[in-house]
Structure 1
Amino acid sequence: MALEKPKSIANLQGVIKKLSKGQSELFDRLYALEVSTGNLEVPSEMESWTKQKFGSVKKVKSQKIVHLQNRLTGEGTLFNELRASRPFDTNCRTIPDIEKNESCLFCNASKKTPPDTFGRLRGKHCMTSSNIAKYDQFHGVIIFNEHNPLKLKKEWLLDYLEVAEKWFGKAASVDPLAKNDFLIWNCLWKSGASLVHGHMQLTASRTKYGQIRHLEEVALGYREIFGRDYFEDLFEVHKALGLGKKAKKERLIFYLTPKKEKEILILSKSKRLTDLALAIFRIIEKYKKLGVQSYNLAVFKALDYWIMRIVDRGALDNKSSDIGTMELFADAVVSSDPFRLAEKF
């Protein structure tokens, strides 16, 4: 009797075959799946190196490529079986240049950062400033009391989000049309952070950002055509595959079309941003156990949902960028397997 193949992105076709008819039809409604093989010849001079790096010359000669696209949002991701089979790197690396130093502006934020026109807000574990080089009408910063962004406690994160709520309220009181709130956390330089000191960014705009507007248009069109909630069906597809989990009021999705490595979504109909604090904290703590050192996190409203998205941006000592031409102008190329990520949670 043949052993059953474990669930994996490389064996997605096999996983789909085991879905019920309704689940399979829902998958096909949301996703287009294409599986192909990339072939190459390995010169004899490279065989030893190839076997050492990838474990098998045969695997390198014939590589399974899984290409997934969300038919509605246009999101697409390419997975290479060879790349996805690599183990998560959970080794603790030395993290350079991350400890507190005298030149850090945010360590003396009261004197070295500007307040917003509506004033500076303070929590128990953070304070706000205005972003000195804005990319929107309202653009603020939540500066953590803790310099090291990799140090986090539940009560700290809750405080950051409480202050964020107050900041969004202040912006709306100045301009009631600036009601599109967006929270950003670029953790360390691989994620695009210009300063090491722990901080989040906040924007409040009159116009919805393009990707969020597109997502809302997709969800509204989906309801009009199918009479169903797009986000509910998105979760149900992932749950059927073993990639969706419920956590109290939140729903976690280990995303089939991630923008980059280890992407996780939270969907929540909670009224307040702060209601997501515990779920976000648990994801970040699990990320750390997986060796994640730098990440991008966003929280925003789309229709009546709070949505959080988070991606791993790679090791701090790796000088290579994880984003290239494919990610900018085509579909994302991702190494991590969503199925193996889900197993860790």
Structure 2
Amino acid sequence: MALKQEITNLPELVNKLKKKDRELFNRFYSIKLSVGMLKVTPEMENFVKNRFKSIEKTENQKIVCINNKFTWEGNLFNELRSMRPKPKTKFMPSELDNKENCLFCNIEKQTPLDIFGRIKGKHCITASNIAKYDKFHGLIIFKEHNPMKLKKTWLKDYLETAEKWFDQTDKSNKGMVNNFLIWNCLWRSSASIIHGHMQVTASETKYQKIIKLEEIYDQYKKKFKSDYFADLFKIHKNLGLGEKIGKSMVLYYLTPIKEKEIIILSKEKKFSEMGGLIYGLIENYFRIGVQSFNISITNIKGYWMVRLVDRGSLENRNSDIGAMELYGNSVVAYDPFRLAKEIKI
């Protein structure tokens, strides 16, 4: 019987790799497979069968711990956690089209502008963030109110407008070394306003997580005479978790920060040239039920790094981030092998 491509079989999947590929994996990652055991009371049996489908799997839960030895990213995978009961509030899709009292629907009067003015795209316009967390902190506000309504041409325009904003900040203040773009889509991702918008920052100092990745890249190159990101992609591709799309490498990430994380590493000249690929991934997200997500884009050692992550159902009342994610390892339910099969690009 063929070995199933799933995270609980990761140790066996790695052992089946060619020797040099297995050694490369082990250079990057450590894996620990354990079984969490419990006893289901007779009174709980019906609940467990309905909720978790199997008493045996509930009483003997396979848990995979995987750690990146360079970045110290770590994950605990247990698919049963996705089946836990979660408190919900009723959500109506029509809420996303409600424009009443929306400041971003009246951008030029209800939002501040940057010191260099506004930049207008075909499908968006910039504003200055009124509560900044960096020297230059702007907004790319979409003309379409509902962020779940998206077209490829619109997204390309949002990204091109962001590039123009970064160019303008550099002209206004030479020495900007850190350009960072984020999109928090809807309230589960921490967006405070429904109306679709991205955030852009430019600063004279780099953020610590970016500095750390750059240090890892340099140290890896010095020690192994190889490219950290290229080898990271090679590991994922060897396991069926990576694919090359033009100048971009797509990774269904082995150590995701949270559910369904996808990373793009690209040598495109401009990040807007990845617009079609990013759009395709977002459309796939929507198709498999993602409603709220985070995206970030930055440049690290000549690579554009794009990260996308699912933030959960808009009906969920509980947070997807707890003390484990803040102070321990990320606890993840969604199998990256399943994600790789579901995404069609």
1:321 corresponds to which of 319, 322, 331 = 319
Instruction: State the secondary structure of the residue aligned to 2:210.
Output: helix
- Structure 1 counterpart of 2:278: 280
Task: Kindly report the root-mean-square deviation, in angstroms, between the aligned alpha carbons of the 2 structures.
Answer: 1.2
Deviation of the 1:192 alpha carbon? 0.1
Q: Distance in 2 between matches of 1:124 and 1:291?
A: 29
Deviation of the 1:102 alpha carbon? 2.7
Check the 8 A contact 1:95/1:316 in 2, yes or no: no
Q: TM-score, normalised to structure 2's length?
A: 0.96
Q: Distance in 2 between matches of 1:172 and 1:76?
A: 36
Matches within 5 A, 1:195-274: 195-274=193-272
Q: Distance in 2 between matches of 1:147 and 1:248?
A: 32
Q: Distance in 2 between matches of 1:6 and 1:120?
A: 53
Instruction: State the secondary structure of the residue aligned to 2:223.
Output: helix
Check the 8 A contact 1:31/1:71 in 2, yes or no: yes
Q: Does 1:36 align with 2:50?
A: no
Matches within 5 A, 1:1-345: 3-83=1-81, 94-95=92-93, 97-345=95-343
Check the 8 A contact 1:95/1:317 in 2, yes or no: no
Residues 231-285 of structure 1: CA deviation (Å, up to 9, x unaligned): 0000000000000001111110000000000000000011111111111000000
Deviation of the 1:84 alpha carbon? 6.6
Check the 8 A contact 1:66/1:81 in 2, yes or no: no
Residues 272-311 of structure 1: CA deviation (Å, up to 9, x unaligned): 1111111100000000000100000000001100000010
In structure 1, give the amino acid aligned to 2:201: T
- Structure 1 counterpart of 2:88: none
In structure 2, give the amino acid aligned to 1:253: L
Q: Distance in 1 between matches of 2:2 and 2:51?
A: 27
- Structure 2 counterpart of 1:90: none
Instruction: State the secondary structure of the residue aligned to 1:149.
Output: coil
Structure 1 segments of 4+ aligned residues over 2 angstroms from their partners = 81-86, 93-97
- The range that moved more, 172-181 or 127-136, is 172-181
Structure 2 alignment gaps of length 5 or more: 85-90
In structure 2, give the amino acid aligned to 1:140: G
Q: TM-score, normalised to structure 1's length?
A: 0.96
Check the 8 A contact 2:51/2:83 in 1, yes or no: no
